[in-house]
């Protein structure tokens, strides 16, 4: 007899999804089941078919471009593929619901978040205006949003990333669906917010018996929440099993490669860097004033007086939660925003008080690799022009610049033949390599990498981190590496600064900070890191 715990919520049998125009099959013969109260993690690199599978389940494939060419999808015994558009609309939010990766794009910026969650109830004919509002406020309390009345009247831009994700989760769970699909819901969140969101999903799951299909490339998260794991690669199902089977005893080479690519929280151990000092920062700060004459002005210390040094060939990590001041520090260092005070000495020169005209010759000595490689590349330019642009701006002859572009592309693991392509023709990891090539084109002394690997698959992430380490060791460039991922910091950094609310609360060698922290906040960050009990490289839990 089937019990509540063993009830089958989702069954996918021999699923194929193909392109309408060419008939090319994108995912092939995918089969798995998911039961009530169970968490199934769907893992694999970008392009493996994870999100395509979830969209097929929700009936959200673009009918003009994609079609299910074989197989079946059953949600509580109902065939999704045979359902009409009206039946699918009724199933969404009641039987199955989805939480997307980026809550800002999933929410309407012109409506209050309360109205958007109430809309789900209204569309499904639930209650009247008064009861819908009460129900939404209770859901906001259930997902631990502070001051539900205020949040209800807020617009998405007025909330933090973690709060917006809680709104999207509220929208997904408001009608108690039996199946929740979470597509990379914690990728862009810092470790403490990530832990809160994962705990929230688990709490809702236990309360309502929801089956969770969790799509992620973060094996730290997988090790904490998965009951079973499905591994996909290039549209094929590679391997499936329990958490311990996949993480400790993977059978397939591809799975072993993915798991072993996950960085450890334990630093590998490095000798102290003894290079010459190239950057010295003293009492750098940034103050904003909010409010008006009538409402009163309020001082906001986005960056409190901060000091740091950077040597040639050194990688200095800056870690902390969202809003801790990491990016503000980076932008002040590069004078992309004007610091309120302090000194920035690049070599023997203080650049903190220079005008933008005076600063221009020094800009080539500072270069930045941003988080999103697609948005930071001009989609209308070919790669050769993207990488050569800085050199041309500083007077390098075009022929010489283009010749150096080829060398740079090969240096970052791409080929000269790729020079004439456009950014959209590359994968995310390849685009980030192009960004690194562009940053290296001017032979900088300081390279700032701002969350430059946070959106990459673990295998690509490992390649980019190794590339940055090689470049640092070979060229002597000093790297300021900003990240919220302590595993990444452990793998690549020599020293670490921990920031909280605009100030440095702890600093030291990466080994000292991550294995012997002295501050409670640092210990909290380490304790919140997912998968801290797993040694992925050696396929075993830590003793």
Q: How far apart are CA 190 and CA 525, in angstroms?
A: 9
Structure tokens that stand for 375 in this block: 């948005």
Contact 480/445 with Cβ under 8 angstroms? no
At 13, is the secondary structure helix, strand, or coil? strand
- In-domain check, residue 364: no
- In-domain check, residue 229: yes
Domain boundary among 260, 280, 302: 260
Q: In this predicted structure, what is the pLDDT of residue 291? A: 65
How many other C-beta atoms lie within 10 A of the C-beta of residue 348? Answer: 6
Report the DSSP beta bridge partners of residue 233: 236
Structure tokens that stand for 477 in this block: 């460039």
For residues 120 and 245, state if they share a domain.
yes
Domain span at residue 389 reads 377-443
Contact 490/513 with Cβ under 8 angstroms? no
- In-domain check, residue 479: no
Tell me how many domains the chain contains: 2
Residue with tokens 């010749």: 403
For residues 163 and 32, state if they share a domain.
yes
Largest CA distance in the chain: 79
- In-domain check, residue 103: yes
Q: In this predicted structure, what is the pLDDT of residue 295? A: 61
Q: In this predicted structure, what is the pLDDT of residue 188? A: 65
Distances (CA, A) of 163 to 111, 197, 300, 335, 525: 16, 9, 21, 30, 19
Q: How far apart are CA 308 and CA 132, in angstroms?
A: 52
Contact 431/373 with Cβ under 8 angstroms? yes
- In-domain check, residue 297: no
List average pLDDT for each run of 10 residues in the chain, which is 543 residues long.
69 96 93 95 89 92 92 94 91 89 81 94 91 93 86 88 84 90 80 82 84 90 94 95 95 94 85 89 90 68 94 95 87 93 93 91 90 84 94 94 93 89 83 90 93 79 88 92 90 94 94 94 91 86 76
Domain boundary among 205, 233, 260: 260
Distances (CA, A) of 180 to 16, 57, 61, 247, 468: 22, 11, 18, 24, 38
- C-alpha torsion 33→34→39→43, nearest 10: 30
Q: In this predicted structure, what is the pLDDT of residue 1? A: 38
Contact 243/223 with Cβ under 8 angstroms? yes
Domain boundary among 260, 277, 305: 260
Over residues 127-146, the pLDDT tens digits come to 899 999 999 999 898 888 88
Burial class (CB in 10 A: 0-12, 13-18, 19+), 467: middle
Task: Enter the pTM of the model.
Answer: 0.82
- In-domain check, residue 337: no
- In-domain check, residue 395: yes
Q: How far apart are CA 393 and CA 396, in angstroms?
A: 7
Instruction: Output the domain CATH number for residue 47.
Output: 3.40.50.300
- In-domain check, residue 211: yes
Q: In this predicted structure, what is the pLDDT of residue 512? A: 94
């Amino acid at each position: 007899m089937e019990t509540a715990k063993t009830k089958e919520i989702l069954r996918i049998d021999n699923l194929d999804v193909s392109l309408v125009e060419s008939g090319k099959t994108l995912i092939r013969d995918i089969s798995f089941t998911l039961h009530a109260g169970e968490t199934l993690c769907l893992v694999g690199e970008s392009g493996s078919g994870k999100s395509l599978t979830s969209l097929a389940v929700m009936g959200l494939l673009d009918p003009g471009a994609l079609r299910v060419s074989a197989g079946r999808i059953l949600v509580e015994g109902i065939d999704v593929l045979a359902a009409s558009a009206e039946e699918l609309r009724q199933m969404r939010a009641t039987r199955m619901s989805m939480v997307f990766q980026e809550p800002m794009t999933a929410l309407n910026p012109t409506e209050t978040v309360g109205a958007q969650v109430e809309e789900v109830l209204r569309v499904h004919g639930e209650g009247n205006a008064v009861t819908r509002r009460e129900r939404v406020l209770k859901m906001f309390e259930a997902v631990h949003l502070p001051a539900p009345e205020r949040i209800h009247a807020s617009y998405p831009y007025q909330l933090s990333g973690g709060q917006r994700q809680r709104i999207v989760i509220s929208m997904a769970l408001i009608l108690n669906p039996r199946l929740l699909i979470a597509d990379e819901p914690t990728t862009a969140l810092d470790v403490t917010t990530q832990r809160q969101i994962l705990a929230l999903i688990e709490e809702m799951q236990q309360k309502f018996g929801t089956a969770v299909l969790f799509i992620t490339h973060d094996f730290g998260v997988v090790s904490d929440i998965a009951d079973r794991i499905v591994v996909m690669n290039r549209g094929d199902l590679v391997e499936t099993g329990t958490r311990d089977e996949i993480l400790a005893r993977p059978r397939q080479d591809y799975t072993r490669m993915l798991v072993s690519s996950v960085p450890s929280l334990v630093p590998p151990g490095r000798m102290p860097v003894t290079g010459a000092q190239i950057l010295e920062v003293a009492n750098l700060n940034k103050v904003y004033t909010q409010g008006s004459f009538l409402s009163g002005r309020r001082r906001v210390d986005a960056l409190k007086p901060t000091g740091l040094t950077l040597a040639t060939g050194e990688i200095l990590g800056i870690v902390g939660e969202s809003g801790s001041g990491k990016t503000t520090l980076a932008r002040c260092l590069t004078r992309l925003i004007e610091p309120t005070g302090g000194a920035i000495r690049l070599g023997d020169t203080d650049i903190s008080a220079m005008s933008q005209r005076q600063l221009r010759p020094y800009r080539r000595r500072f270069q930045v690799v941003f988080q999103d490689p697609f948005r930071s590349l001009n989609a209308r330019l070919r790669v050769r022009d993207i990488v050569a642009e800085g050199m041309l701006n500083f007077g390098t002859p075009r022929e010489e610049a283009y010749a150096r572009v080829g060398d740079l592309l090969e240096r970052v693991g791409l080929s000269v033949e790729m020079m004439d392509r456009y950014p959209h023709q590359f994968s995310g990891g390849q685009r980030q390599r192009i960004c690194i090539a562009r940053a290296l084109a001017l032979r900088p002394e300081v390279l700032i990498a701002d969350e430059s690997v946070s959106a990459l698959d673990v295998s690509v992430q490992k390649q980019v981190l190794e590339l940055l380490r090689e470049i640092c060791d070979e060229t002597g460039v000093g790297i300021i590496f900003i990240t919220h991922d302590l595993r990444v910091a452990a793998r690549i950094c020599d020293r670490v600064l921990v920031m909280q609310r605009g100030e440095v609360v702890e600093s030291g060698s990466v080994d000292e900070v991550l294995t012997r922290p002295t501050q409670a906040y640092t210990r909290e960050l380490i304790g919140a890191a997912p998968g801290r009990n797993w040694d992925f490289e050696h396929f075993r839990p830590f003793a």
